[in-house]
Structure 1
Amino acid sequence: MDTKRASVVSASRRHKSVGDEPVTSVLPNGDVPYDPDNPDLGADDEVLAALGYKPEFRREFNLFTTFCVSFAVLGLLPSFASTLYYGMGYAGTAGMTWGWLLAMIGIQSVAMSMAELCSSMPTSGGLYYAAAVLAPKGWGPFAAWITGWSNWLVQVTAAPSVNYGAAAMMLASGSIMNPEYVPTNYQTFLLTILLMIVHGVMASLPTKWLAQVNAAGSTFNMVALVVVIILIPAATDRESRGLPKFAPSGEVWGTIYEGTTFPAGISVLMSFLGVIWTMSGYDSAFHLAEECSNANLASPRAIVLTSSVGGITGWFLQMVVAYTVVNIDEVLESELGQPFAAYLIQCVPQRIAITILALTIIAGFFMGQGCMIAASRVTFAYARDDCFGPLSNLLKTVNTVTRTPVNAVWFNAFIGMLLLLLIFAGELAIGALFSVGAIAAFVAFTIPIFIRVCFVRDRFRPGPWNLGKLSIPIGIVASAFVALMVPIMCFPWTTVPEGLTVEDMNWTALVYGGPMLFILIWWFVSARKWFKGPKVNVAHMMLGDDIVEGEMIRDSDAGSATTPPLTKGMENTKGL
């Protein structure tokens, strides 16, 4: 027996049981379901097998490249530019400075709690898998159903909202160069569709190419962000307008802009929408876990690295804009149709404004591509467990040439193109894509965290990256933050309910609540009869009793992380 084969077999003898692996698995305790005689088996594949899945992707991502995809999806510069209306429009510069810091306490708590789950369950299903395993006995499939669909909603709205923001900035650049040009909804729609098609093609490429493209894109994002943070204060021409080079700190930190008729505290909380949407991309590292080497350490580290680096650099960008903005009303009401472009025209020369917009647009292009990749992996993982009903067989197919889920890529792209028809319904309607993305993301993020805090406690098996004694307190902060922010993000845009008009209505509750209501009805009418949560797709080698590939875990098993070890092979559950 050669050395490599001997080491693999030796490893298999050290980790004979699912209970011996550092994972919280949907499988009952028992032998890890893999072939110990396979010389190609690695530590990552062993961990994945303990979670119930066979390897289907090449592990060509590492910590840095996973961080690159995650940071590209975060896309601080284009995300900030796309959501400036919310961050500045609700509470002004106060919401952008100390408001960002307050929001980051809750956001970082969510990210760290998610990273702990990722280390224990490094699979593409991510939050959906975690919800199924951690839910109280018998509730696993329902928890997975709600978490999965909420997470899919943010994934499928991410690329179109990012590309819409990039297209709007491209056309706003044209307006700056030619003041007589006024972009139309039709032009914005077509340009956004073009970006969606290009990103669909790119997201269908082999994993190795995707890793290289996203490494380049993320590097550009970071460089562009640093350049903009330095360039704006260096080039600002506020003094030519009779203003000091930078606004006084008392004005920046102490004045809350009356963007709504709600109390000042509520306005600041509403401004968190921009922070939450901007900081909602770090879960991408979770969904890429099956393509990452040393996944139960590299993926959680990428999550925390993305959220912390993003939070710090994002705050510096907020500070730069807060200290250099000239007139908030003119930024929000500009005919350019893009607040960030209007802000730049106020505070820097036109040539510098165009340069910064160009950097932001390129960064937005890479961000949209990263969103398309992450969304396709989520769709694939959920289809693998039949979450999409009759479409699942099509969406869980991995292309034999590229070894990527090409069908899932184009399914998401098609849905995203349909959502972009909201452009023709006006700014409030298309704006709902941003707030839906924020709510859907953090609801999905927090369901398994809340279950972990309130129902699991000692039944959770931490992975090699964990929070130790701080796990429960941080999880409580994360859950409380999201519970507070979900209703806040559904408040009317500008007025209290007594003065509410159709123009002021926040359509988030309808655009998010409508599909989720349909999903709930679908569950009670049909899905509860056939959807059992995560499915095993590996042959289980326990005592020679194989599970046929694709069989479901029983409802009584799903949601229990500590089922006692079996004395015989796992029961045949086919047909349940």
Structure 2
Amino acid sequence: MNLVELDALSSTDSVSKPYASSTDTGEITYRPVYRDHVDDAEDLARLGYKQSFHRGLSLYGVFSVSFSVLGLLPSVAASLNFTMLSGTPGMLWGSLIAFVFILCIAASMAELCSSMPTSGGLYYSAKVLAPKGWGPLAAWITGWSNYIAQLTFFASCVYSLSSTTIYAASEYDGTDYQIKQHHIFFLSFFFIIVLAILASLPTRIIGRLHSVFTCVNALCIIASIVIVLVSASLRHGFNKSSTVWSHFENGTQWPQGFAMLLSFCGVIWSMTGLDTSYHLVEECYSASVNAPNGIMLTAIIGGLVGWILRAVIAYTVVDFLAAVHAQSIWVGYLSQVLNRKAAMATIALTVLSNFIMAQGVLVTSSRIAYSYARDGVLPFSKWIARVNGRTTTPVNATIVNCSAAIIIFLFFFVGHCAIDAVFAVSAIAAFIAFIIPIGLRAFFVKDSEFCRGNWNLGRYSRYIGAAGTIFVLIMTPILCFPNDRHPTFLKMNWASVGYCIPMGLILLWYALSARHWFKGPKADMPGLEIPRMTSLKSADLQHQFSSNFNMKDY
């Protein structure tokens, strides 16, 4: 049986679900199906794919991996060089303002996830939502931008893990030890091997691990906050609210207002993993409900807890400028606020949380590589898209991503300008990938043409998507600005170069070759291709299909 034959079957339905079908003329349409239950295999079949993964993740399991990817404690620590650029008011007001717009992006992404629950995620959505003739290019840019984001984000996480460990050891071991870049490189190499092994485990074990990791992550955050607050109250007290909320200290050579915008960049980087639940949707049951809820829980809880952490830092920092100019801002800050043992304990919690974060990022990025390789986008796609028969996980994709991260580490030998660029590139690439399908939905697809899933924004969908898209369009150039107004060569912000060169080569590849063979995500169900979303009459929307549909026919 194929999906075309399902057109002739009938049942009673009540909930809108999309699926692909073809007409006698061969035209592919994207139709919603109304029914009163959730069947993940059927949903995936309507999108053109057969079930490959074991669906072992619940809402909590999906949220656990996604929350681990955010890694709030190490994310806040690693992004202080952005959030502290305009003083403590920038940390607090900037985080709140950016949080509102990130919620808009998360809500729009959750709606797309419910409508099209496939691990291709944003890449699949861009193809379906693009105007006629532009689908392949939209999918190509979205997919590669998202993949670049995942690779650089993973490299950033592992570098942050290694550098925090080494700098803390140097700070507190009582010796004057000169840290060199190859020390961080070899420690990063060791961490990558361990992370690759964990990411290759069966989905069931990964789900259980991350259920534990989420609890450990939460305990690390709570313990760190308690340690800082108790120590601050006993040692030097807290900063006054009037100072914390209104006393700007510009750590840049730009005007204060622009420095405030630069502080948004830290919040954006810490939310780079916002789409994690989307990419795990094929390993989640009741995916069209649980995965969108996972996206929203990640955005809401991650945003609020991240703001609380920044508020604690703002109220307890002793010498703001000294912390900003420290070799590691987080280690410098903790040295001001805590005694030696308490600082070491907090850094240990940060390192543990950072390890969990890196592992979650690798799990997600390997699923993205698998979904793109399944569609023939990546070089050596057939090998990368193999699912290990024993673990039922994309082990080959994990190996490829780890190898790419090691190559990225080689650029870190250039200096801190390269390191900062990789951090910024991950945020730029991720949010560009986020807003392409969201922007297409907001500005090009009418409500009557959009096939909503169980989780949707109703009539506010396009307005919320437009707000998130405009925010990213404003912030993307700002992510490319250096802190110094007249920087030297090594103090330039090389993020624009780090993103534009690989994307330029990828677009050149598309123009010279890929446009002839790449048509967007490929369906692996018989006789189907991925459609673009089309407007249908209400009679078509009442389309029915068999209640005894059996995926074993495939």
TM-score, normalised to structure 1's length? 0.87
Query: Which has the higher mean CA deviation after the structures are superposed, 71-80 or 216-225?
Result: 216-225
Runs of 4+ in 1 over 6 A off after TM superposition: 30-33
Q: What CA distance in whole angstroms lies between the structure 1 residues aligned with 2:31 and 2:438?
A: 28
After superposition, the Cα gap between the structure-2 partners of 1:24 and 1:229, relative to the gap in structure 1 and judged at 3 Å, is farther
Q: Residue in 2 aligned with 1:76?
A: 72
Say whether the 8 Å CA contact 1:157–1:437 is kept in structure 2.
yes
SS at match of 1:506: coil
After superposition, the Cα gap between the structure-2 partners of 1:232 and 1:436, relative to the gap in structure 1 and judged at 3 Å, is same
Q: Residue in 1 aligned with 2:266?
A: 274
Matches within 5 A, 1:4-83: 13-14=10-11, 22-23=17-18, 28-29=28-29, 43-83=39-79
SS at match of 2:132: coil
Displacement after TM superposition at 1:477 (Å):
0.7
SS at match of 1:22: strand
User: 1:300-331 CA deviation, whole Å, 9 max, x = no partner?
Assistant: 00000010001111111000001111122222
Displacement after TM superposition at 1:563 (Å):
7.3
SS at match of 2:520: coil
Tell me which of 214, 231, 239 is aligned to 1:218: 214
Q: Residue in 2 aligned with 1:427?
A: 416
Displacement after TM superposition at 1:355 (Å):
0.6
User: 1:372-396 CA deviation, whole Å, 9 max, x = no partner?
Assistant: 00000001111111111x4111111
Q: What CA distance in whole angstroms lies between the structure 2 residues aligned with 1:474 and 1:316?
A: 25
After superposition, the Cα gap between the structure-2 partners of 1:26 and 1:228, relative to the gap in structure 1 and judged at 3 Å, is farther
Q: Residue in 1 aligned with 2:548?
A: none
Unaligned runs of 5+ residues in structure 2 are 1-5, 23-27, 544-554
Tell me which of 123, 146, 157 is aligned to 1:151: 146
Displacement after TM superposition at 1:177 (Å):
2.1
* Mapped pair 1:138 → 2:128: no
Q: What CA distance in whole angstroms lies between the structure 1 residues aligned with 2:21 and 2:230?
A: 55
User: 1:451-490 CA deviation, whole Å, 9 max, x = no partner?
Assistant: 0011112211110001112111111110110010001111
Say whether the 8 Å CA contact 1:282–1:303 is kept in structure 2.
yes
Query: Which has the higher mean CA deviation after the structures are superposed, 131-140 or 258-267?
Result: 258-267
2:221 alignment partner AA: L
Q: Residue in 2 aligned with 1:560?
A: 533
Q: Residue in 1 aligned with 2:115?
A: 120
Q: Residue in 2 aligned with 1:263?
A: 255
Q: What CA distance in whole angstroms lies between the structure 1 residues aligned with 2:490 and 2:455?
A: 48
User: 1:222-262 CA deviation, whole Å, 9 max, x = no partner?
Assistant: 1111121222111127x75xxx5111112111122221111
1:527 alignment partner AA: A
Query: Which has the higher mean CA deviation after the structures are superposed, 203-212 or 253-262?
Result: 253-262
1:183 alignment partner AA: I
Q: Residue in 1 aligned with 2:177?
A: 181
Displacement after TM superposition at 1:340 (Å):
0.4
After superposition, the Cα gap between the structure-2 partners of 1:44 and 1:26, relative to the gap in structure 1 and judged at 3 Å, is same
After superposition, the Cα gap between the structure-2 partners of 1:269 and 1:538, relative to the gap in structure 1 and judged at 3 Å, is same
Say whether the 8 Å CA contact 1:158–1:371 is kept in structure 2.
yes
Q: What CA distance in whole angstroms lies between the structure 2 residues aligned with 1:528 and 1:20?
A: 37
Q: What CA distance in whole angstroms lies between the structure 2 residues aligned with 1:42 and 1:332?
A: 51
SS at match of 1:281: helix
Q: What CA distance in whole angstroms lies between the structure 2 residues aligned with 1:95 and 1:365?
A: 28
Q: Residue in 2 aligned with 1:370?
A: 360
* Mapped pair 1:412 → 2:412: no
Matches within 5 A, 1:120-519: 120-179=115-174, 180-236=176-232, 240=235, 245-334=237-326, 337-388=327-378, 390-458=379-447, 459-495=449-485, 499-519=486-506
Tell me which of 524, 527, 552 is aligned to 1:537: 524
SS at match of 2:480: coil
Q: What CA distance in whole angstroms lies between the structure 2 residues aligned with 1:210 and 1:380?
A: 17
After superposition, the Cα gap between the structure-2 partners of 1:26 and 1:111, relative to the gap in structure 1 and judged at 3 Å, is farther
Q: What CA distance in whole angstroms lies between the structure 2 residues aligned with 1:45 and 1:225?
A: 37
User: 1:130-171 CA deviation, whole Å, 9 max, x = no partner?
Assistant: 000000011111100000000001111122111111111111
Say whether the 8 Å CA contact 1:259–1:494 is kept in structure 2.
no
Q: What CA distance in whole angstroms lies between the structure 1 residues aligned with 2:309 and 2:227?
A: 11
Say whether the 8 Å CA contact 1:63–1:298 is kept in structure 2.
yes
Aligned length: 523
Q: Percent identity?
A: 41
* Mapped pair 1:520 → 2:498: no
Q: What CA distance in whole angstroms lies between the structure 1 residues aligned with 2:391 and 2:301?
A: 32
Query: Which has the higher mean CA deviation after the structures are superposed, 300-309 or 471-480?
Result: 471-480
Displacement after TM superposition at 1:514 (Å):
0.7
1:487 alignment partner AA: P
SS at match of 1:124: coil
